[in-house]
Amino acid sequence: MSKETFIVSLAVITISGTLGYILYKYGTNSLGAITFERLGEIRLTGQSIIYLVLMLLGFGVVAYSGLELKNDMFIMRYLFTPAIFLGLVVLFISRFLIGIPLSISGVGKLTAILTALVVISTAIASNIFFKESFSLRAVAGIALGVISVLLIGEG
């Protein structure tokens, strides 16, 4: 991969991530405080059950179609590689649940806190699972991340 492609991909990820956070914050503002209890609110009626079944069938059709396209489209092989697909599902759950603290916090403050926490936890996990080592400089950067969490959390 060329340096330019790498930089462009980082820019696209950053811009789309920022836009996603801003839109997500607008959405949570419109719903008020979000809690685990509110996320679990379900009102089952005959009509809602029908729509739920249709939605699940739709997910099933999309998943089946994607799996069938694995041999014809790299993007489907990429998406439906089990570890990648499961990773995306877990990331979706994480991003979905971010609405809880986002509904009562500023998007900039929350993003800073979560970014630092994810850097720390990912560094530890990558050391455990992939035996990735870190230079003293990288450890110092992670330590600064911890300090930033403490400073931002106090604000």
As given in the structure block, the two tokens for residue 74 are: 């790299």
d(CA 150, CA 132): 26
Q: Residue 28: is its pLDDT beyond 70?
A: yes
Q: Residue 121: is its pLDDT beyond 80?
A: yes
**How much is the CA Rg of the chain, to the nearest whole Å?**
20
Q: Which of 27, 152, 38 is nearest to 102 (CA)?
A: 27
Of 60-69, 89-98, 103-112, the one with minimum mean pLDDT is: 103-112
**Are the beta carbons of 59 and 89 closer than 8 angstroms?**
no
H helices within the chain, ranges in order?
A: 3-31, 36-39, 46-68, 74-79, 82-97, 99-102, 107-130, 136-154
> What is the Cα 84 distance to its own chain's centre?
13
Region 44-73: mean pLDDT is 96
Q: Residue 149: is its pLDDT beyond 80?
A: no
Region 78-93: mean pLDDT is 95
> What is the Cα 66 distance to its own chain's centre?
21
Rounded to two decimals, what is the model's pTM?
A: 0.80
